[in-house]
Structures are given as C-alpha cells and as structure tokens.
Amino acid sequence: MQANPRKLLDLFGNSLRYVVPIFQRHYVWSAENHWTPLLEDILEKLDLRLAQKRVTPHFLGALILDTVRKKSTKEVTRFLVIDGQQRITTLQLLIAAVRDYALLNKFATLAHALDRFLLNPDLDLMDDREKEQFKLWPTQFNRKVFCDVITAGSRQKVEDLYPVVRLPRKRKPEPRDRLVEAYVFFGDRIAELSKPCGDDLEKKKGLLQELYGVLKDDFAVVEIILDEQDDSQEIFNSLNARGAPLSQSDLLRSYVFMRAEKGQEDRDHLYDEYWSKFEDRFWDQWIRRGSVWSSHLDVVTRMFLSSRLGLPVDSRRVHIEYKNWIRDTSPFPSVEDELRHFTRFGARYRALIERPNGDPFARFAERLEVWDVSTAYPLVIYLLEESALPKDDVAKCLADLESFLVRRLVCGKDTKEYNKYFLELTVSLRKTQVIGDALRSLLLAGKGSTREWPDDAEFAHHWRSGDLYRSLSSKQLALVLKLVDERLRSSKTEEVSTSTLSIEHVMPQDWAENWPLDGELVPKEMSGNWFVDSDAAKMAKWEKIKDRVGRRNEIIHTIGNLTIVTGPLNGAMHNDPFSKKQQALKNSVLMLNRYFDGREQWDEDAIDTRAEELFVTARQIWERA
C-alpha cells in the first residue's frame, strides 16, 4: 500500500481513468451537507489569494485506489475507486461548471486548461475512446447523466437535456438528478461570485484564474494505492462501516464485482445482462421473515446461498458464508456463470411473490403464500428452474409438495424444521439423476413429527374431528374449502371469483336461540361448556344435557359444519335457524353449498356425515401414495 499527498488537479493531470466499481453506491451528496461546505472552503482560500496572503493546502481526506492490470498497451491506465467516489465525482462536476462558465465568457485558454482535467487527450491512441476519454467513469446508474454533463460544454445544453419539470398544482419543481443539481449548484455560485465584476471581462477573467489556482494548488488529498497483497474488498467494507451499514446484498455485490474486475471480465456486460435486473423498487422493499426485516434482495441472496449449501444461513453471515463457499468449492467457472444462476433464481423468486399473468405456476405460488411456507421457496425454485423436468412432471412434484403441506397443516404438525428439511430435499434432488418421482419418494421417507407425510388414516381423523376453524387461519381454511369446491365443479360449471370468500358456520357458534338440542331449546346460559347455579332444578337439567352441549360445542368448529360464502351473504345469515340459512345458501354460486339443498335438518350426525363426504374429495386433491 502506497500513500502519497497529491494536489487536487494533479489527480487528473495525467492520462488516466478512475473507474467507480459497480458495487459502489449511487451518487448521493447534497447541497446542505456536502456541496456548500466544500464551496465555503474554496471561497476561503480564494479570499486569501485575492488578499495576497499565505495559503496553506487544505486536505480533503483520502482517496483509496486499486490498480487494474491493463488489457493492452493502448488502454488508458485505470484505477478502481475503493473510497472517495463521492468526492471525486463532485470535483469533476465543479471543474465542469467552472470550465463552462469560462467558455460562456469566451475565456478559451482557461477553459481548455480545465478541460484537460475532465477528458483524456489522444483519442486515436485509445482502445475504447467512448469510455477512455473520461477521467472518471461512474457506475451505470450515474454514467449517462455524468457523461452528458461533462461533454455538454455549456449550462444551457445541460438545461436542455435535463430541464426543470413543474407538475400541475405543485409549488416546487420535480427534483432533477443529483449530478445535474450539483453542476447547477456550482454554476450558480460561480456566477454569483462574478457579479461584482459586472461587464469587466478582464476582472472576471482574473477572478476565474485565481479560482483555477485555488483548485490547482490549494487543495490536496492523500492518494492511497493498494498493491496485490491488499484485500480491496475488505478495505471497502471496513471504510463503509463508518456510514450507513452495508446490507448483506451490498457486500455480496461488492465481492462478486470485485472478483469480476480482478478477473478482467466485462463488468458493464455483467451489470447490463444480470445485475441491472435487481436495480428496481421491488428488490428494495422490506419484508418480514419471522422476526427479521430484510429487503427482497437480501432475502433472495440468503435463499440462493442456503439452497446451494443445503443448510440455513444466518441472515447476518450471508456475505461471509458466500465468500467461504466460493473460495472452498469454486462452484462456477466464471463470475458471469455465477450471476447467470443467481439471476435465474432471483427471477423465479420474484415470480413467486408477484405472480405475473401468464405464469403457469402462479396459482400454486398464491396457495404457497396462504400455506405460509416461504421456507419451501428454494425447493420450489429448484424444481422450476434447475430440475429440467417437463412441466407436467414439475406440476406433479408441486402437487406432492402441496399434499405434504396441507395434510401436515390439517393434522397440526410442527413447522419449525421446514427451513432445514426443504433445503435437505433440494440438495438430495440435485444429487439424483432421475427426479421425476424422487421428490415423492423422499417425502414418503420422512420420519418423525417434523418430517412425516400424514397417511390417509391420520389425515381423515384430523379432517373429520379437528378444530380447523381455530387451528387454521381464516385464509387457509377458506382456501381449503375453495379447492374442494373447485374439485366438485364440472367443466361446464361457470368459474366464479372467490377473492371475497369468508368462513360461515352452518350451525352457528351462538346456537341456543334457534337451534334445539334433541328437540328442545337450551337456555343461553347453559349453551357454554360450564354452568353453575344455586338452583337445584337448573343444575339437574345441566347435568342431564352437559355432555351433549359439550359435543355440540366441539363439532361446531369442525369442517363438516363449515362452508364458504361471499361477504354480503355472510352478513345476512348471522345466527338464523337452519331453514333460513338453507334458503340463503341457495343463492350461492358455489358448488360446495349445493350440499344443503333439500336437507330437512342440520345436527351433529349431519355434520359428521358431511365431513366424511368432504374427505373423499380432499383425499383426491391432496393424494399420498
């Protein structure tokens, strides 16, 4: 590592390029916190010069650079900017503003001198003049605007390219790109500084020459150039730890693109073809997984690594574990191949979340969200993106997976080990040559309460007698009944929207008022599971009916007594007797509710019978070998 003090404009004096790596953040400096303090320091030095007082150089901090080996003798020498890109970008915009003000006033010699600190000469001797002419080459996000500002040659041209936009009924104009705002900020301040000169061009020229002298001689930086033994990525991470914490995906991006730079892979191609797909709002949205909040990009980064390792990865250690994985196993022949796999994984993850029109697996993804098992995403993504199975075979695998999930959900099985189990399944499938039936075989082989796939007997028991109204969420229970309803439909039956479905108890939870028990209405105070009274007659009656009351209160929440209805219908039914509910249910377009047509009564035996009949359909939907 070499550290040298450098005058500000000496940084740009030779034929060279400062390349901002893709892993760097976008340009974020602002007027209040950065441009104004910098300008105040410059004006302080200018005042000393104009007063002919001694001026000592002002240090702007360190600029940390990493040398990149040339691809050819014609290539302009380039350095990666590991730290200091915000400062160096701002200085380029300041120089451009001074140059363009000099051009406006026809100070050609001064403008030419400043231009040498923005653009490299001898275009015909360059490998790629479009890139290598610029002293600074920002990331793709900032590049076009920066290049437009540097090559515009005038404030008016910049304003034409990036005009102020005012929307109706808004007092303030829309914000422009920060690079444009910085250029305009410095241009306005230079014009204000020159106002006292009036129309005296010589006086104005003298002022600008002194300003040029300030930039050339009165500011300095410490230039630190890394050598081959220095880990530039670790230095980048350490330096950025001072500011806003880097996310795990930020660290991963820096690691991947630093390796691309070192391996002389085309970083612009890698960005445009792969990483640019992660540069939109979706990937910046924060979501909750368990007790941890993360961006979609952080989540998919963790899932991708976990899927490859076959083990859950701590959300705080994704970057470290990823580095160890790449270093120890070299799983990809190139960074491009690595990004190709990551991008495919990310695209499928996004499709599972957003479920675009035309995606044949969108309905499955929607159900997966209701079952609340995002831990299955790595397995699902593997089946959809890596398995190379025909669509029909993939659909069979997903049907087996859904049967596993729904049967366990109905049977009240523990989900705490799903994150480990689905990763284990993914790794096992990767090692399997023929995987058409491999997933079913693996699921059938699962043992213990955290991995077993309930058989028909266990499924039937919990389906018929389980308190599904309380053990499942309302969305889960509605989806179970909706899928049963869909299976009952013939191909000629009209499809209906089920987005507003809600759960309805046929025999209501408050049944005492309208629903007799063995032909006799039960006092409301005796319709619960407990009753105590000093009246001996009442207590005698309670002893006589309490077992049947308890039985009724249990069976009310089982699936045999539950159906789905639209919101308005649900609101009209309340605790009505069966005859009225039956009449209301005739208005339902759901096949599930045709079951009640013509029924004379609805009691515990009827509920048991319906549960049995619904199970026949449920077993067909969620099959198990």
Q: What pLDDT shows up at residue 245?
A: 54
List of residues 6+ apart from 432 with CB closer than 8 A? 438
Rounded Cα distance, 237 and 257, in Å: 14
Query: Is the domain of 266 the same as that of 189?
Result: no
Tell me the average pLDDT across 313-332: 91
Full DSSP string of 204-233: HHHHHHHHHHHHHHSEEEEEEEE-TTS-HH
Query: Is the domain of 60 the same as that of 77?
Result: yes
Q: Write down which residue in 219, 240, 261 finishes a domain.
A: 240
Query: Is the domain of 510 the same as that of 458?
Result: no
- Is residue 394 scored above 90 in pLDDT? yes
| pLDDT band, very low/low/confident/very high, at 469 (cuts 50, 70, 90) | very high
- Is residue 573 scored above 80 in pLDDT? no
- Is residue 340 scored above 90 in pLDDT? yes
Q: Give the per-residue SS3 of 346-384.
A: HHHHHHHHHCCCCCCCHHHHHHHHHHCCHHHHHHHHHHH
Q: What pLDDT shows up at residue 1?
A: 52
Mean pLDDT of the chain: 89
Q: Write down which residue in 188, 222, 240 finishes a domain.
A: 240
Could you report how far apart the first and last alpha carbons of the chain are, in Å? 65
Q: What pLDDT shows up at residue 355?
A: 93
Q: Express each pLDDT in 111-128 by its tens digit.
A: 999 999 999 998 888 888
- Is residue 22 scored above 70 in pLDDT? yes
Q: What pLDDT shows up at residue 227?
A: 67
Q: What's the angle, vertex CA 450, arms to CA 445 and CA 454, rounded to 5? A: 60
List of residues 6+ apart from 402 with CB closer than 8 A? 364, 367, 368, 371, 622
Q: What's the angle, vertex CA 579, arms to CA 574 and CA 583, rounded to 5? A: 80
Q: What pLDDT shows up at residue 232?
A: 56
Tell me the average pLDDT across 278-293: 84
Rounded Cα distance, 488 and 164, in Å: 61
Q: Express each pLDDT in 200-223 by its tens digit.
A: 999 999 999 999 999 999 988 888
- For residue 221, the Cα-to-chain-centroid distance in whole angstroms is 38
- Is residue 241 scored above 50 in pLDDT? no
- Is residue 576 scored above 70 in pLDDT? yes
Query: Is the domain of 355 the same as that of 471?
Result: no
Query: Is the domain of 459 the same as that of 482?
Result: no
| pLDDT band, very low/low/confident/very high, at 242 (cuts 50, 70, 90) | very low
Rounded Cα distance, 307 and 427, in Å: 7
Query: Is the domain of 457 the same as that of 569?
Result: no
Q: What pLDDT shows up at residue 492?
A: 47
Beta bridge partners of 226: 66
Q: What pLDDT shows up at residue 234?
A: 57
The strand pair at 2-7 and 501-505 is best described as unpaired
Query: Is the domain of 429 the same as that of 318?
Result: yes
Query: Is the domain of 201 the same as that of 262?
Result: no
Question: Which range among 51-55, 148-152, 352-356, 438-442 shows the weakest confidence by mean pLDDT?
Answer: 51-55
Between 319 and 99, the higher pLDDT residue: 99
- For residue 121, the Cα-to-chain-centroid distance in whole angstroms is 43
> Long-range contacts of range 572-580, CB-CB < 8 Å, 24 or more positions apart?
573/504, 574/508, 575/508, 575/510, 575/511, 575/513, 575/514, 576/508, 576/514, 577/514, 577/515, 578/506, 578/507, 578/515, 578/602
Q: Write down which residue in 240, 264, 281 finishes a domain.
A: 240
Q: SS3 of 17, please? A: strand
Query: Is the domain of 303 the same as that of 441?
Result: yes
Between 195 and 73, the higher pLDDT residue: 195
User: Which conformational region is residue 427 in: left (phi greater than 0), alpha (psi within -120 to 50 degrees), or beta?
Assistant: alpha
Tell me the average pLDDT across 75-85: 89
Q: SS3 of 136, please? A: strand
| Number of structural domains found in the chain | 3
Q: What would the two tokens of residue 228 be?
A: 């081959």
Tell me the average pLDDT across 571-591: 84
Question: Which range among 20-24, 191-195, 307-311 shows the weakest confidence by mean pLDDT?
Answer: 20-24
- Is residue 230 scored above 60 in pLDDT? no
Q: What pLDDT shows up at residue 235?
A: 57
| pLDDT band, very low/low/confident/very high, at 132 (cuts 50, 70, 90) | very high
Question: Which range among 14-18, 21-25, 203-207, 599-603 shows the weakest confidence by mean pLDDT?
Answer: 21-25
Q: Express each pLDDT in 137-147 by its tens digit.
A: 998 889 999 99
The strand pair at 219-226 and 2-7 is best described as antiparallel
Query: Is the domain of 450 the same as that of 482?
Result: no
Query: Is the domain of 78 the same as that of 170?
Result: yes
Q: What pLDDT shows up at residue 246?
A: 63
Query: Is the domain of 421 the same as that of 295?
Result: yes
List of residues 6+ apart from 148 with CB closer than 8 A? 158, 161, 162
List of residues 6+ apart from 179 with CB closer than 8 A? 27, 89, 93, 142, 145, 146, 149
Rounded Cα distance, 338 and 334, in Å: 6
Is 177 exposed, middle or buried (CB count within 10 Å of its CB: 0-12, 13-18, 19+)? Answer: middle
Q: What pLDDT shows up at residue 336?
A: 96
The DSSP 8-state label assigned to residue 162 in this structure reads S
Q: Which residues constitute the domain of residue 117?
A: 2-240
* Cα-based distances in Å from 462 to 465, 549, 556: 5, 21, 14
Element holding 562 (H helix, E strand): strand 562-566
